[in-house]
Structure 1
Amino acid sequence: MKISLTQKYNVPGPRYTSYPTVPYWNEAAFTTEKWISSLQKSFSESNSKNGISLYIHLPFCESMCTFCGCNKRITKNHSVEETYIKALLKEWSLYCKILPERPLIKEIHLGGGTPTFFSKENLEHLINGIFSYAVKAENHEFSFEGHPNNTTYEQLKKLYDLGFRRVSFGVQDYSAKVQKAINRIQPFHNVAKVTFWAKEIGYTSIGHDIIFGLPFQTVEDVIDTVEKTNSLKPDRLAFYSYAHVPWIKGNGQRGFNDENLPKDAEKRKLYEIGKQLLTKNGYHEIGMDHFALESDSLYKAAHNGNLHRNFMGYGASKTQVMIGLGVSSISDSWYSFAQNTKNLEDYYQLLEWDKLPVVKGHILNDEDLIIRKHILNLTCELHTAWKNDFLNFAELPEVLSALKEIENDGLIVIEDNKIKITEEGRPFVRNICMAFDLHLKRKSPETNLFSMTV
């Protein structure tokens, strides 16, 4: 019996927010001192020209969503806010002592957890504290993730006044059955309310995050969710595949059984129907899992070849340095990665000792930098090339050989020292990137590490 392309290529694989991916970091060769040296080098090359990005992780949530793979701390005790922000600003001050000059901040993203767990006063204290050590770039892009159930008008207004113009609201799905399964009870009118508030205040890029492949989710659920989304007309959308990784996140993702999840062709059908409806309503597919209206900066970046991808996801700004603040955050100097401790108490303790809370990382070698560029090209521009010596590497013939079957299936075109992903190949970008992933090829994982690619 002939199997479908979805069945054929639906294998565990990385999402490629970095290369090398975190499980393949060479932690033994990494030290905080090497990270600092790498950061200083990259900062000196890029700060005055392009500025830097900040990712700030705000981990607290009032309840557990069972689809979530983020690092979070569940609590209804809001007294934790001030302690955490004090720690964030202490970490930032340590970085600013390391950097050779006052940083120019082009991009800030507040992620979580639930950033809108924090009061508007504490969010203001955080941002003002950041800029007591830094300069705001003229063409900055500041964004945050808002929970529709607890985002207030006052929070939206305060962050707007602080320079934020982009907000993304987590929607996931509007089906009552699906919401119950993932413990995310969120009426449509809550999403509509915060979306209209953001438009009224003047946000120029409002995003919604929706997910396909959730437990009990049907075609009718996706149609209803997309139609409701279209009625609110957000500027951009993330339409993610649900990443079922209970072996990583423990009981947090075991609020339902595996047989409740749509699989393979059934799951892919949910995406294709959603994509068809979004395209019909003026949205353009961007990279992997994203859609945007032509008026949005994400579409313009993709159209102009300026789309970038890192641990914050897709963005319209390219910066060489991204510093991650907060528990579990990952920093990227381009030449190296560094991750903070995932344990909140350890995070506080290291900062009390005046130490950066970095506990692991990876120093990229020349080969890593070449492969990283190819994977960025594929995930952002859907093509890559190796005409110049910089993007050539010793194992390229083996990579091209591994891609032959993918080419035969019509998912890519290989010619004139370049690869182009076809429209049919869009669902399989992760698989195409895996052919370039030399760390993965040299050492296949013996246990589950990644979600399914399709």
Structure 2
Amino acid sequence: MNSFPQQLLQKYNVPAPRYTSYPTVPLWLDDLNEIGWISLVKKAYEDFGEEEGVTLYIHLPYCESLCTYCGCNKRITKNHSVETPYITTIMNEWEAYLKIFEGKPKLAGIHLGGGTPTFFSPESLQEMLGFIIESSDVMPDAEFSFEGHPNNTTRGHLQTLFDLGFRRVSYGIQDFNEEVQKAIHRIQPFERVKEATDVAREIGYKSINFDLIYGLPHQNLQTIADTFEKVATLKPDRIAFYSYAHLPSAFPAQKSFEQHLPIESQKRALYEKGKEILAQMGYLEVGMDHFALPNDPLYLSKINKTLHRNFMGYTTSPSKILIGLGNSSISDVYYGYAQNTKEIDLYKEQISLGHFALSKGHIMSKEDIKTRNLILQLICNQEAQWDFCYYSLLGKKNWDKLKTFKEEGLIEFDTTGIKVKSEGLPFIRNICMVFDLRMQAKETEKFGFSKAI
């Protein structure tokens, strides 16, 4: 098992962005109105849409019960009458984008997230997705995926989505230990996960991902080993092994178990143990938190240096246009970002009135675009190139930070670029922060980022 000097782990285990965007959401300038957003979307589609198409993220926020560890935007209800008004609003929002595209847009992918997408009935999903797909020109290599809860992802869900073109499903497992599951209010027996996995494969899904979390209450090296032993019997194509983000001020339910959380050194040991077992199982590291089998397209993208990262995490899609539908969803159209309002009723009201339900946004400057490209290269390929102008832009304080990383054996760099060594991978978020000029400009402010390690 790899080990890192304890002083480095303590030094760099500070709040840091996950860099699914740059600038990160709390640092957006909020300088975008509806007219400006329409203009940015139109420009992006004219520049990139014909070749790369549009990827959709659809946020489906409802859950029947609260998982106390969860940091997602969700609403807890057992009332399924909420389905029809919500999917109607999604379709109306998509119609508004169709007017901007002025015709059938090329569709590069769809991802359903939440909440719990499988809270919605197969019939509701069929109605919503059928409308979106019929109004689009689906590209030959389009990737459709969804997040499924093993407890309520039925054969009907899997078959309906497969018939619509979905070939990848991601199951939120988190941990198989019963004590851990009780603490986080996520009870799902191994047998139910196995059934959901087996049915997906029987129907024809080509890629199955498991989400696992380390740093949860009551976890220890033995429970992690036991969880991975069970995972090995199901052999998913991809595994996301996430760090639990403890932010009780934002998500009060997390307070219910915080006295049972592992301390920082124990949490890191959990990750190293999991990573060691993953290697033994034949999984290869793709990027921060992500692992895949050698023949998986995600790993092949890493090898070919075509891996991309956006608000959905690592992806093989090259599309520069990500449109978010639904409350709280975030759109990235290369020239700017926009986020929908988080409040479901306000979202529905704004769309019903014929407006985009935007709550905040950011117009990218040339410097932003250059910095984003560099951070994307670092976090996807662990190396990046820069020109002399950028080299001089960082300033002495940041070059001193880079020199320290180099002295600590974490990176190599010169006047042409930077490379993160294998020893530096656990600190990739810290390294990216060196280039985050917008955050440095507001260094006196505090943001609600999870810890880096």
- Establish whether TM, by shorter chain, passes 0.5: yes
Partner of 2:425: 426
SS of aligned partner of 2:346: helix
> Is contact 1:413–1:422 with CA below 8 Å preserved after alignment?
yes
Q: Aligned letter for 1:241?
A: S
5 Å matches for 1:390-401? 394-395=393-394, 398-401=397-400
* CA distance 1:245–1:115, change in 2 (3 Å): same
SS of aligned partner of 1:375: helix
Deviation track 1:266-317 (CA, whole Å, cap 9, x = no partner) reads: 1111001100110111100011000000121111111111111001111011
Q: Distance in 2 between matches of 1:418 and 1:47?
A: 30
Answer yes or no: is 1:412 the counterpart of 2:415: no
Answer yes or no: is 1:166 the counterpart of 2:179: no
Partner of 2:440: 441
SS of aligned partner of 1:97: helix
TM-score if structure 1 supplies the norm length? 0.96
Q: Aligned letter for 1:100?
A: E
Structure 1 position 397, deviation (Å):
5.0
Partner of 1:93: 95
Partner of 2:245: 243
> Is contact 1:42–1:321 with CA below 8 Å preserved after alignment?
yes
Deviation track 1:121-171 (CA, whole Å, cap 9, x = no partner) reads: 111111111123211111110000000000001111111111001100000
Structure 1 position 33, deviation (Å):
1.4
Partner of 1:202: 204
Structure 1 position 46, deviation (Å):
1.1
Partner of 1:69: 71
Partner of 1:338: 338
Q: Distance in 2 between matches of 1:246 and 1:444?
A: 23
SS of aligned partner of 2:170: strand
Answer yes or no: is 1:22 the counterpart of 2:25: yes
5 Å matches for 1:7-156? 7-27=10-30, 29-156=31-158
Q: Distance in 1 between matches of 2:235 and 2:115?
A: 25
Q: Distance in 1 between matches of 2:422 and 2:393?
A: 29
Instruction: Give the aligned CA root-mean-square deviation in angstroms.
Output: 1.4
Q: Distance in 2 between matches of 1:286 and 1:363?
A: 30
SS of aligned partner of 1:6: helix
5 Å matches for 1:209-228? 209-228=211-230
Q: Aligned letter for 2:316?
A: A
Residues 339-348 or 436-445, more deviating: 436-445
5 Å matches for 1:361-380? 361-380=361-380
Answer yes or no: is 1:255 the counterpart of 2:247: no
> Is contact 1:320–1:333 with CA below 8 Å preserved after alignment?
yes
Structure 1 position 231, deviation (Å):
1.1
Unaligned runs of 5+ in 1: none
Aligned residues with identical type, % of pairs: 50
> Is contact 1:44–1:100 with CA below 8 Å preserved after alignment?
no
Deviation track 1:1-55 (CA, whole Å, cap 9, x = no partner) reads: x85221111001111111001110101x221211111111111111110111000
Partner of 1:298: 298
SS of aligned partner of 1:136: strand
Structure 1 position 331, deviation (Å):
0.4
* CA distance 1:280–1:416, change in 2 (3 Å): farther
> Is contact 2:145–2:166 with CA below 8 Å preserved after alignment?
yes
Q: Distance in 1 between matches of 2:176 and 2:283?
A: 20
Q: Aligned letter for 1:325?
A: L
Deviation track 1:183-238 (CA, whole Å, cap 9, x = no partner) reads: 10111111111111111111111000000001121111111111111110000000
Q: Aligned letter for 1:317?
A: S
Q: Distance in 1 between matches of 2:26 and 2:83?
A: 31
Q: Aligned letter for 1:198?
A: A
SS of aligned partner of 1:19: coil
Partner of 1:324: 324
* CA distance 1:285–1:239, change in 2 (3 Å): same
SS of aligned partner of 1:309: strand
Q: Distance in 1 between matches of 2:360 and 2:406?
A: 37
Q: Distance in 1 between matches of 2:400 and 2:44?
A: 35
Q: Distance in 1 between matches of 2:262 and 2:337?
A: 35
Between the two proteins, the alignment pairs up a number of residues equal to 449
> Is contact 2:335–2:364 with CA below 8 Å preserved after alignment?
yes
Q: Aligned letter for 2:13?
A: N
Structure 1 position 387, deviation (Å):
3.9
Structure 1 position 388, deviation (Å):
7.3
Structure 1 position 358, deviation (Å):
1.0
Structure 1 position 399, deviation (Å):
2.7
Q: Distance in 2 between matches of 1:404 and 1:441?
A: 18
SS of aligned partner of 1:14: coil
SS of aligned partner of 1:106: strand
TM-score if structure 2 supplies the norm length? 0.96
List structure 1 segments (4+ residues) > 6 angstroms apart after TM superposition: none
Structure 1 position 398, deviation (Å):
4.1
Structure 1 position 416, deviation (Å):
5.3
Structure 1 position 265, deviation (Å):
1.8
SS of aligned partner of 2:285: strand
Structure 1 position 432, deviation (Å):
0.5
> Is contact 2:322–2:331 with CA below 8 Å preserved after alignment?
yes
Q: Aligned letter for 1:23?
A: P
Unaligned runs of 5+ in 2: none
Q: Distance in 1 between matches of 2:187 and 2:119?
A: 16
Q: Distance in 1 between matches of 2:262 and 2:37?
A: 42
